[in-house]
Amino acid sequence: MAQAQSIRTQSQPDTGDTYLLPGETYTSITSVIGDVPLTPPMKTPKGWIFGFAISFALLMVFLVSVSWLLIRGVGIWGINIPVGWGMDIINFVWWIGIGHAGTLISAILLLLNQGWRNSINRFAEAMTLFAVACAGQYPILHLGRPWLFYWLTPYPNTHGLWPNFRSALDWDVFAISTYATVSLLFWIVGLIPDFATLRDRATNPLVKRIYGVAALGWRGSARHWHRYEMASLLLAGLSTPLVVSVHSTISYDFAISQIPGWQVTVFPPYFVAGAVFAGFAMVLLLMIPVRTFYGFESYITIRHLDVMAKVMLATGMIVVYGYFMEVFGSLYSSSKYEQYLLYNRLYGPSAWAYYGLLFCNAVAIQPLWFRRVRQNIPALMIISTIVSVGMWLERYVIIVISLEREFLPSSWDRYIPTVWDWSLYLGTIGLFFTLTFLFIRVLPMINIFEIRMYLHQETERAHRREAALHGHGHGHGHDHDHGHAHASAD
């Protein structure tokens, strides 16, 4: 029992920091967070309706783009002979990267007993699932015959069409499917106690029944909490290596090739750091407006934003180190192909993307060294937006610039995305935000029971601090008497 409760219920280290504003009670936490999904449909905020309408319109753009793609084929995209991978794979890697912050916050920070994750883990986990759902569309659509995507799975058949396990595309299938499955299970398990809370607070019989079924009979007994803690820890242990393995596997799409700019051994850790970097930028970009719109300033405090900005700065500097290593590798290798790739990035037709990513990912994050900037909400919004653009440009540079100028000058060509490339990209953004708005409307965005548990820990910590102060005063008195007795004896 003690082992199962060792992470969530053990005392927080007394650093003097708190991530919950004073004045909150168990009742206020439950009502403020739980009343959002229980709002009657006719009282839905107009801001939510407006945002959902825009997202749904972009989702319709996605459906039109996919329909036209299935009718005409991948020729509607801007891909050509040297650039066989274009916007499709760029957006795929970008979306997968965005999803990494959720697993880092939910799993690794849980195992490290970091209290600041309690207010943002639910939202970050949902963002992970929605980003993976968007990313998963691209490899299937890129196949040309997406209705045969099941050929990538190792199914037994009489025709011998087993997948090629030496292909990085097949590795992606296993990595992403495992990542999505474990993340979904972790997310659903974490929702069970909150489903029970919504079940008990709902007044509409149908809504009460829906949340009751989702709660799986949760009654909050010791046995239920014991099993919940064990399941959470097991899933956190499974999710932790996935943070490293998934984007490392995706980096092998490039690193196992012979194309200059791709066969770089630093790609796996470089891609993982970049994924967490992009993910935290997106978490900030989404959480700040939601925090303001729903009045969650007591639960998502300035201190939360400060810590997330620190993580973004740390991972951003790792990405900058990767940029330096790419340049150093090109110059140190004495390979004319690698050196020409560097020259092409600096002076080629797509040099604008390289300089853009250097500004967005290396220069724009430097103000985060200062606390005043990290705690300035408009500054965080601007920097997070710039970082999101910069990480997309990074994928563009890696894929397009490396392919536009390959070994044979006779096959060189420019890559220019078509309107269908952009419409599919905007469509997946619409899919992402449509799912996000639905999540905000029907599920608690912040983990209710973990915030209440954190309030309990903070209360206990305050009591211990007060007792220590009183005990410290008595201890000084004893020490004084003890020293006086020694002096008398001497």
pLDDT band for position 17 (cuts 50, 70, 90): low
**Cα gap 68→143, rounded to integer Å:** 15
Amino acid at 299: Y
Neighbours of 395 (CB within 10 A): 22
Taking only the tens place, the pLDDT of each residue in 80-104 is: 888 888 899 999 999 988 888 778 7
Residue 256 has pLDDT above 80, yes or no: yes
**Cα gap 19→353, rounded to integer Å:** 39
pLDDT for res 160: 66
pLDDT band for position 434 (cuts 50, 70, 90): very high
pLDDT band for position 474 (cuts 50, 70, 90): low
User: Between residues 389 and 179, which one has the greater pLDDT?
Assistant: 389
Average pLDDT of the residues in 48-77 = 93
What CATH number labels 39-153+163-459?
1.20.1630.10
Taking only the tens place, the pLDDT of each residue in 179-194 is: 888 889 989 998 999 8
Highest mean pLDDT out of 260-264, 300-304, 415-419: 415-419
pLDDT band for position 245 (cuts 50, 70, 90): confident
Residue 373 has pLDDT above 90, yes or no: yes
**Cα gap 407→411, rounded to integer Å:** 8
Mean pLDDT of the chain: 84
DSSP state of 436: H
Confidence (pTM): 0.86
Tokens representing residue 469 in the block: 């102060």
**Cα gap 181→133, rounded to integer Å:** 11
**Cα gap 93→197, rounded to integer Å:** 37
User: Between residues 308 and 5, which one has the greater pLDDT?
Assistant: 308
Domain range summary for the chain, segments of one domain joined by +: 39-153+163-459
**Cα gap 34→22, rounded to integer Å:** 19
User: Between residues 47 and 162, which one has the greater pLDDT?
Assistant: 47
